[in-house]
Structure 1
């Protein structure tokens, strides 16, 4: 099996085509290979070998990708770490992953429980980033941004042989967000990554002429798979934003002229909030993938109308390597769904006992295929609970239609049980999104002495829009049955989010006071 998601197996391997870059410049495939091997030699000198784990605590950058490639060249696995982690969070991931080395930059000041922090000639790598990334064709030799004279090795040393990487070799340890209990290390091997990159590239018709822009943090699989491994598998290129800001994204689009990028709904919301007279030019962008959290039809329409973007929704989990369903680029775009299963994967819906439910009925989403994780590191019981007979239990409630399009109803754990009746926050949020003044909302359960739980809502208004809590509760009462109308609705400036940009509902629930009195539609500003 040829693992084309690996740099040295890519169709563009060893060529002068653009490979990876950031705001400081770009490296060709040839230059990327030279730099990755030079870094791998340094890792080998530090004692890294096959089966080890290398931790990387770096912002989105060329150096981060080179560090992952260097680990793979030695048969080691990589575990990217959120660069904003506290010392406690960092040490938890280092100890749980049994990392042998931490690669960090000069800004890292937290202690790593005695583990060596390797600062491995990152300045040398930066010095070899050539020129600014051009705004022309993303292509190869002769195109704007293509390399000049060849570069030599970053450091002298004996040649590093190209490995024969086994498909079942551990490649990444990606840690879940830890919304319940401690974060778990998701084990992904090279077969998982290749299947994911190939499925994404095929589904979105990515070619060597495509250039992805990394907008999301690269300590999660979305950015790694969608925006790096998929284009590398076909010989395309990747340019990296260190972090997202609305104006920064517009500048990056204008400068780098990417053909696609991946976002979460919160990013679309921030773009829509930009002043109407903000100049934008998305003419180079073929499509945008939106995932990681449900997105309202209204926000999709606002984004498409204002920016002319072709936005396709996708769905997946870290445990399924990234995406398992996605709206087709050409074909039915059923608003409110996340599309059919990607090629090679299967989706079924089951009742609590694991029995399939009929088409059109709600059930737990289960996934099978070559992208399903090897398991949770050091947690066989949690793995056995999550992967049953080869099917990944997602914990999401969904509905499949007659065409195999999946609609996510909610998370099982987010379901609100009000006096014995199951309520799905996503349904309430979708109705709130239909109000012209609402930008986004989050609904969670609040404790209630008689009913157990009742729904409460937190709402962010569109810039310049005016609406009171009473207005929005009246809107809910007009379109939702009485038990679904929030018992309390609070207008807020923003919603708490986890590092991936999803609304942090566990935190929101922790911040939510009980509703003590008999349920009437209470309002607060």
Structure 2
């Protein structure tokens, strides 16, 4: 089987409705459960105050009118929602959607820099902010060019911190008490599939977070999928897991896609009340569960750990809880077992969230999920498992999970490259390595480099880029290490630069101080779950493959070995077996490369595969050799062995045979050619890298220093070129008694370091200048290009006015205006110049298209319009007519 899907069919999903129309107006949707009038939409956790359907409806359209009156919010305007969970969170979203706008939810713990990035990328027009986040929002708005008058407060603070800034309460009253200033958006058939509702930020493997473009139809489709999956309105299914009047915990952040779609929208559609909890505090959360008699708990693995191990749980009655599911990250099987004991009357399961949200969930007929399983595919999802070689895996085989369905995002906002990598021909690459058995998905590993910290995505590249800005960091790599509470936490491997290395060498106190300084460098600029909680480790070098890509799995395994609190001590026999195992395959590689490729692959990945199986609970205990192999890992197998380098230091062999005399001159040999050839073989991208005129031009007069002290690589303020590395290699070889290989290695290392330093310095200088208010006009080169374009346009115009060209155009105009050509044009056919030439030869006329190579042509009077055919042809003597045969 190449594709997997649920056998349960989906009903027709409306594609002409916005999200608020679907939730607040379409109350008679066929599969929608009936919500009793006394069941509120939202319940405020602290006070118990409920917001009914009627109040939510009235406040949504009142706030929409207020936003339209005050800021003229309309279609495609982006509003940033920067707030923790609040009873008006959904009201703000639906009000913006009613006006046709787009909402971009932001993490309320963001720093100024992180919020500024989101505001700039989405080009937000308005910011809805909680009073607790107001200082950060003001600073980020100022840095993004958004005026303070474009802010409004979600809550109604008692303090004067938001003095002068309107609140949602005030805007709603203003909108209700004034005539309607807008027309509710109405989609045409199919328009909801492409009209954006959310720009939800998700981390990527290549740097800063990316904005996922989510249309209205995707959210509505996922709500319908979950409704059908749980059989909420199926009369043949008596034991329904979710009933109108149930109470769900709204403790997960609403800015996260899991809380935004699963809790806020699906639960409300199902007739469930949501207890809105602004901030997670575990003991207070336990009190809320009991006080509100919550029936449905949607949690993440760190919260599951607290349920299983926190002493405050003991003695509490959770008999009213009938459903508990964990999402956003994989859950350990032992924790699931403990959770089942804690909630004896509850169905315990997991979910897998990708694209917009849920693609897997616990089956409705089961009360306990399979250990290691993320659940079954929900209706409408089609899945494929793609193996490393690109072929499709069968049931039980391992590979990357690729899915498609109605609830898919449109791609990454204004990032076509990332969109093309993840969204391929309607399929979405999840980056999860899975096995599918009986339509259940078992997550084995994560192919993408993204870490999941407490359910939040953290991109290593983002942290690495920030670490490289530290003055003492030469190179960096960030990996995730297992953590019982957070699932994963970031750990950084740092290569100190030579100044820092001299400072900490033999000085443990200085090394610890530098580690603390590096951790503070991250914590000062990043949100808390991105901090280097796993610690900092100094290494001599970051392992990379021949193409320069970081071998992250090698460091990940090294990190796991470092953080094990009680490592299993391997016996001498185990160490001997591991070393023999390592050397055996290495020797086979040298002797029998082609015959043992499969065994080499197994040898290089055996400890990684065992690590995956341990995490997936396929094996419970570590093999006795596991720690020994981790401490002495096998040689990593490169994707393809690089070609052997030129032996620079070996003189070419010369034959002793006499060379026959030849008139051909002896070939001139330059050592630079060999160095240049090797450099471009090692750096093929430099061959095609576009260079600017400034980069290739001299920026200094010829340097007066010659000999051993000369190198253009030492000149500051200039992006080094390949030719600089070649000249420096030759300089070291000639004046420093180095071998050519050593000189080449040193020159290339300096070239790479300065190229990176130049890129970072120039980028930082531009950002700093922009922060200080600088604006950049066109450069001298751009002005030169503009002048050249104008000159070319002038030449083109002169050519158009050329008399010869004008005459040719008149001739052709006379031809195409003849009756038989007009008739062809009426029949939507064309008449080419080639067809005209053939017609002229057949009628005995010679086309005058190369006058200089044919008989002398009659002079043509361009002002004579009496005979149009005279302009097109010249009659020749019958002797030049082609023969009839």
So what's the TM-score if we normalise by structure 2?
Answer: 0.45
Question: What is the CA distance between 1:74 and its match in structure 2?
Answer: 0.6
Instruction: Establish whether residue 192 from structure 1 lines up as the match of residue 192 from structure 2.
Output: no
* More RCO (CA 8 Å, sep 6+): 1
1:78 aligns with 2:103: yes
2:192 aligned residue (167, 183, 187): 167
Partner Cα separation in structure 1 for residue 115 and residue 627 of structure 2: 41
Query: Which residue number corresponds to residue 63 of structure 2?
Result: 39
Note the alpha carbon deviations across 1:439-486, whole angstroms, 9 max, x for none: 787598978879962514559x9xxxxx95135989999623735778
Indicate the SS of the match to 1:183: strand
Q: Evaluate the alpha carbon distance shift between residue 486 and residue 36 of structure 1 in structure 2; reply closer, same or farther with a 3 A threshold.
A: farther
Decide whether the 8 Å contact of 1:170 with 1:190 is kept in 2. Answer: yes
Q: Which residue of 2 aligns with 1:28?
A: 52
For residues 177 and 629 of structure 2, the distance between their equivalents in structure 1, rounded to whole angstroms, comes to 66
Q: What is the distance in 2 between the residues matched to 1:385 and 1:450?
A: 22
Deviation track 1:375-416 (CA, whole Å, cap 9, x = no partner) reads 110011211111112110111111111x1111111111359x
Q: How far apart, CA to CA, are the structure 2 residues paired with 1:96 and 1:292?
A: 25
Q: Between Structure 1 and Structure 2, how many residues are aligned?
A: 439
Candidates 348, 364, 379, aligned match of 1:329: 364
* 2:313 pairs with 1:216: no
1:95 is matched with 120
SS in 2 for 1:340: strand
CA distance in 2, matches of 1:153, 1:14: 30
Q: Which residue, 609, 619, 625 being the options, matches 1:482?
A: 625
Secondary structure, counterpart of 1:281 in structure 2: coil
Is residue 9 of structure 2 the alignment partner of residue 8 of structure 1?
no
Deviation at 1:64, TM superposition (A): 1.6
SS in structure 1 of the partner of residue 207 of structure 2: coil
RMSD between aligned residues? 3.6
Q: CA deviation at 1:337?
A: 0.9
Return the match for 2:337 from 289, 292, 301: 301
Alignment partner, residue 49 of structure 1: 74
Question: Which of the pair is proportionally richer in helix?
Answer: 2
Aligned 1:126-145 pairs, distance under 5 A: none
Please give the per-residue CA displacement for 1:4-31, whole angstroms capped at 9, x wherever unaligned. Answer: 7533334579955411232242210100
Confirm whether residue 311 of structure 1 aligns to residue 348 of structure 2. yes
Q: Contact (CA 8 Å) 2:205, 2:449: kept in 1 or not?
A: no
| 2:191 is equivalent to residue 156 of structure 1 | no
| Cα distance between partner residues in 1 of 2:284 and 2:389 | 48
Number of the residue aligned with 2:802: none
Aligned to 2:831: none
User: How many Å apart are 1:172 and its aligned residue?
Assistant: 0.8
Equivalents in 2 of 1:123, 1:239: separation in Å?
17
| DSSP-derived class of the 2:219 partner | helix
The verdict on how the C-alpha distance between 1:217 and 1:230 changes in structure 2, with shifts beyond 3 A counting, is: same
Structure 1 unaligned residues grouped into runs of 5+: 127-150, 416-424, 462-466, 489-525
Tell me, in whole angstroms, the C-alpha distance in 1 between the residues paired with 2:214 and 2:40.
27
1:292 pairs with 2:313: no
C-alpha spacing 1:385/1:439, structure 2 compared with 1 (3 Å):
closer
What is the deviation of 1:100?
1.0
Residues in 2 aligned to 1:188 and 1:244: alpha-carbon distance in whole angstroms: 27
**Pairwise CA distance, 1:161:** 5.5
Partner of 2:789: none
Q: Deviations over 1:328-358 (max 9, x none)?
A: 1323732111122110111110124542112
Question: Contact 2:35–2:244 at 8 Å: present in 1 too?
Answer: no
Q: Please state how far the C-alpha of 1:86 moved relative to its aligned partner.
A: 0.8
Residues in 1 aligned to 2:276 and 2:313: alpha-carbon distance in whole angstroms: 27
Partner of residue 380, structure 1: 416
Match of 1:359 among 381, 391, 395: 395
Describe the shift of the 1:7–1:57 C-alpha distance in structure 2 as closer, same or farther (beyond 3 A).
Answer: same
CA–CA distance in structure 2, aligned partners of residues 339 and 484 of structure 1: 32
Taking structure 1 as reference, are residues 29 and 105 closer, same or farther at Cα in structure 2, changes over 3 Å only?
A: same
Following superposition, the deviation at residue 269 of structure 1 comes to 0.6
User: Is the CA contact (8 Å cut-off) linking 2:336 and 2:348 kept in structure 1?
Assistant: yes
- Check conservation: 2:350, 2:369, Cα contact below 8 A: no
- Quick one: structure 1 residues 485 and 341, their matched pair in 2 at CA, closer, same or farther if it must change by over 3 Å? farther
Following the alignment from structure 2 to structure 1, what is the Cα–Cα distance between the partners of residues 569 and 255?
37
For residues 496-511 of structure 1, the aligned pairs below 5 Å read: none
CA contact (8 A) 2:85 2:253 kept: yes
What TM-score do you get using the length of structure 1 for normalisation?
0.74
Instruction: Report the Cα offset of residue 241 of structure 1.
Output: 1.0
| C-alpha distance in structure 1 between counterparts of 2:315 and 2:308, whole Å | 13
1:408 to 420, 443, 452: 443
Tell me by how many angstroms 1:68 deviates. Answer: 0.5
Aligned partners of 2:308, 2:320: CA distance in 1, in Å? 19
Per the TM alignment, residue 186 of structure 1 is displaced from its structure 2 partner at its CA by 0.4
Give the 3 Å change call, closer, same or farther, for CA 152–478 of structure 1 in structure 2: closer
Which of 424, 431, 441 is the matching residue for 1:395?
431
Gaps of 5+ in 2: 1-13, 29-33, 159-171, 233-241, 451-478, 494-540, 546-550, 572-610, 615-619, 632-885
* Larger Rg computed on CA atoms: 2
* Partners of 1:35 and 1:153 within 8 A in 2: no
| Residue aligning to 1:228 | 264
Task: Please give the alpha-carbon distance, in whole angstroms, between the structure 2 residues aligned to 1:485 and 1:362.
Answer: 26
Are residues 259 and 153 of structure 1, via their aligned partners in 2, closer, same or farther at CA, if it must alter by over 3 Å?
farther
Query: Which of 212, 228, 232 does residue 202 from structure 1 map onto?
Result: 228
Contact 1:54/1:102, CA 8 A, preserved across alignment: yes
- Aligned-pair CA distance for 1:272: 1.8
2:40 paired residue among 8, 12, 18: 18
How far 1:291 moved relative to its partner?
A: 1.2
**Structure in which a larger fraction of residues adopt strand:** 1
Partner of 2:209: 183
1:423-438 alignment to 2 at 5 Å?
none
Is the 1:341–1:404 Cα contact (8 Å) retained in structure 2?
yes
Rounded Cα–Cα distance in structure 2 between residues aligned with 1:479 and 1:105: 49
